[in-house]
Amino acid sequence: RAILQRRQDAFLAVVQVPNDDLSVALADALHAVLYTKDKMSQFQEQEVVCCVEMMSRQKSVVVGKAEFVIAKALATLEVVNDMEGPAGDFFRGSCAEKAISTAVRCLELIMQGDRSDDKDANHEKEVLCAGVCSFLFSASTKGADAGFQQDIL
Protein backbone atom coordinates (compact mmCIF):
# COMPACT_ATOMS: atom_id res chain seq x y z
CA ARG A 1 0.00 0.00 0.00
CA ALA A 2 2.90 2.37 0.73
CA ILE A 3 4.23 1.89 -2.81
CA LEU A 4 0.82 2.73 -4.24
CA GLN A 5 0.64 5.87 -2.10
CA ARG A 6 4.09 6.99 -3.29
CA ARG A 7 3.02 6.31 -6.89
CA GLN A 8 -0.11 8.43 -6.43
CA ASP A 9 1.91 11.18 -4.75
CA ALA A 10 4.36 11.16 -7.68
CA PHE A 11 1.54 11.41 -10.23
CA LEU A 12 -0.09 14.26 -8.35
CA ALA A 13 3.23 16.09 -8.01
CA VAL A 14 3.70 15.94 -11.78
CA VAL A 15 0.14 17.18 -12.32
CA GLN A 16 0.91 20.26 -10.21
CA VAL A 17 3.85 21.32 -12.40
CA PRO A 18 2.59 24.25 -14.52
CA ASN A 19 4.06 23.06 -17.80
CA ASP A 20 1.78 22.47 -20.79
CA ASP A 21 4.14 20.07 -22.54
CA LEU A 22 4.53 17.97 -19.39
CA SER A 23 0.75 17.89 -18.87
CA VAL A 24 0.15 16.81 -22.47
CA ALA A 25 2.84 14.11 -22.20
CA LEU A 26 1.33 12.81 -18.95
CA ALA A 27 -2.18 12.80 -20.43
CA ASP A 28 -0.90 10.89 -23.47
CA ALA A 29 0.95 8.40 -21.30
CA LEU A 30 -2.07 7.71 -19.09
CA HIS A 31 -4.29 7.28 -22.13
CA ALA A 32 -1.78 4.88 -23.70
CA VAL A 33 -1.88 2.65 -20.60
CA LEU A 34 -5.49 1.85 -21.44
CA TYR A 35 -4.42 0.28 -24.71
CA THR A 36 -1.82 -2.07 -23.30
CA LYS A 37 -2.45 -5.80 -23.37
CA ASP A 38 -4.18 -5.94 -19.99
CA LYS A 39 -5.55 -2.46 -19.39
CA MET A 40 -7.56 -3.30 -16.29
CA SER A 41 -4.58 -4.49 -14.30
CA GLN A 42 -2.38 -1.60 -15.50
CA PHE A 43 -4.75 1.28 -14.83
CA GLN A 44 -5.25 1.76 -11.11
CA GLU A 45 -6.67 4.26 -8.63
CA GLN A 46 -3.62 6.51 -8.88
CA GLU A 47 -4.08 6.97 -12.61
CA VAL A 48 -7.78 7.71 -12.15
CA VAL A 49 -7.03 10.39 -9.55
CA CYS A 50 -4.29 11.80 -11.74
CA CYS A 51 -6.63 12.15 -14.75
CA VAL A 52 -9.33 13.84 -12.70
CA GLU A 53 -6.86 16.22 -11.05
CA MET A 54 -5.12 17.00 -14.32
CA MET A 55 -8.42 17.93 -15.89
CA SER A 56 -9.84 19.83 -12.93
CA ARG A 57 -6.76 22.01 -12.41
CA GLN A 58 -7.10 23.58 -15.86
CA LYS A 59 -8.40 27.11 -15.31
CA SER A 60 -9.21 27.84 -18.93
CA VAL A 61 -10.07 25.91 -22.05
CA VAL A 62 -8.24 28.27 -24.37
CA VAL A 63 -4.92 29.05 -22.66
CA GLY A 64 -1.88 27.05 -23.71
CA LYS A 65 -2.58 23.40 -24.35
CA ALA A 66 -5.38 23.08 -21.82
CA GLU A 67 -7.88 21.82 -24.40
CA PHE A 68 -5.56 18.94 -25.32
CA VAL A 69 -5.03 17.95 -21.68
CA ILE A 70 -8.74 18.12 -20.90
CA ALA A 71 -9.74 16.23 -24.04
CA LYS A 72 -7.24 13.42 -23.41
CA ALA A 73 -8.18 13.15 -19.72
CA LEU A 74 -11.88 13.00 -20.63
CA ALA A 75 -11.26 10.33 -23.27
CA THR A 76 -9.31 8.31 -20.71
CA LEU A 77 -11.99 8.67 -18.03
CA GLU A 78 -14.69 7.71 -20.51
CA VAL A 79 -12.91 4.38 -21.05
CA VAL A 80 -12.35 3.94 -17.31
CA ASN A 81 -16.03 4.59 -16.61
CA ASP A 82 -16.88 1.65 -18.86
CA MET A 83 -14.30 -0.69 -17.26
CA GLU A 84 -15.16 -3.51 -14.94
CA GLY A 85 -12.78 -3.98 -12.05
CA PRO A 86 -11.05 -1.85 -9.43
CA ALA A 87 -10.23 1.21 -11.58
CA GLY A 88 -13.75 1.52 -12.97
CA ASP A 89 -15.33 0.90 -9.58
CA PHE A 90 -13.03 3.46 -7.96
CA PHE A 91 -13.82 6.07 -10.62
CA ARG A 92 -17.59 5.57 -10.37
CA GLY A 93 -17.48 5.48 -6.56
CA SER A 94 -14.97 8.22 -5.74
CA CYS A 95 -14.12 10.46 -8.69
CA ALA A 96 -17.05 10.60 -11.08
CA GLU A 97 -18.81 13.51 -9.40
CA LYS A 98 -15.73 15.74 -9.62
CA ALA A 99 -15.06 14.68 -13.21
CA ILE A 100 -18.66 15.37 -14.21
CA SER A 101 -18.72 18.80 -12.58
CA THR A 102 -15.39 19.67 -14.23
CA ALA A 103 -16.69 18.52 -17.63
CA VAL A 104 -19.81 20.64 -17.22
CA ARG A 105 -17.65 23.63 -16.22
CA CYS A 106 -15.54 23.12 -19.36
CA LEU A 107 -18.66 23.04 -21.49
CA GLU A 108 -19.84 26.29 -19.90
CA LEU A 109 -16.47 27.93 -20.59
CA ILE A 110 -16.56 26.79 -24.20
CA MET A 111 -20.08 28.15 -24.67
CA GLN A 112 -19.21 31.49 -23.04
CA GLY A 113 -16.16 32.01 -25.22
CA ASP A 114 -16.25 34.07 -28.35
CA ARG A 115 -15.85 32.57 -31.78
CA SER A 116 -12.77 33.92 -33.44
CA ASP A 117 -11.52 34.19 -36.98
CA ASP A 118 -8.87 31.60 -36.10
CA LYS A 119 -10.19 28.38 -37.66
CA ASP A 120 -7.73 26.23 -35.70
CA ALA A 121 -8.83 27.71 -32.37
CA ASN A 122 -12.48 27.21 -33.25
CA HIS A 123 -11.79 23.64 -34.33
CA GLU A 124 -9.99 22.89 -31.04
CA LYS A 125 -13.02 24.19 -29.10
CA GLU A 126 -15.37 22.08 -31.22
CA VAL A 127 -13.27 18.95 -30.65
CA LEU A 128 -13.15 19.61 -26.90
CA CYS A 129 -16.91 20.24 -26.83
CA ALA A 130 -17.50 16.92 -28.60
CA GLY A 131 -15.21 15.18 -26.09
CA VAL A 132 -17.03 16.72 -23.13
CA CYS A 133 -20.42 15.70 -24.55
CA SER A 134 -19.19 12.17 -25.24
CA PHE A 135 -17.87 11.83 -21.68
CA LEU A 136 -21.11 13.16 -20.17
CA PHE A 137 -23.17 10.79 -22.31
CA SER A 138 -20.97 7.89 -21.23
CA ALA A 139 -21.23 8.89 -17.57
CA SER A 140 -25.01 9.06 -17.83
CA THR A 141 -25.49 5.73 -19.61
CA LYS A 142 -22.62 3.28 -19.09
CA GLY A 143 -22.53 1.74 -15.65
CA ALA A 144 -24.01 4.86 -14.16
CA ASP A 145 -26.50 4.91 -11.37
CA ALA A 146 -29.25 7.44 -10.75
CA GLY A 147 -26.81 9.68 -8.87
CA PHE A 148 -24.64 10.14 -11.97
CA GLN A 149 -27.66 10.98 -14.08
CA GLN A 150 -28.85 13.48 -11.48
CA ASP A 151 -25.40 15.14 -11.34
CA ILE A 152 -25.44 15.61 -15.10
CA LEU A 153 -29.01 16.90 -15.20
Whole-number Å distance between alpha carbons of 26 and 14: 8
Whole-number Å distance between alpha carbons of 47 and 27: 10
Q: Give residue 146's pLDDT.
A: 43
pLDDT tens by residue, 64-100:
688 888 888 999 899 889 888 888 899 999 999 999 9
Whole-number Å distance between alpha carbons of 24 and 120: 18
Most confident of 14-18, 23-27, 147-151: 23-27
Contact 107, 92 (CB under 8 A): no
Residues 6+ apart with CB under 8 A from 48: 77, 80, 87, 90, 91, 94, 95
The closest alpha carbon to 15, from 25, 5, 2, belongs to 25
Q: Give residue 104's pLDDT.
A: 92
130 Cα distance to chain centroid: 13
Whole-number Å distance between alpha carbons of 20 and 104: 22
Angle at the Cα of 32 from the Cα atoms of 27 and 38, rounded to 5 degrees:
135
pLDDT tens by residue, 17-54:
777 788 888 888 888 877 665 655 667 788 888 889 88
Whole-number Å distance between alpha carbons of 88 and 84: 6
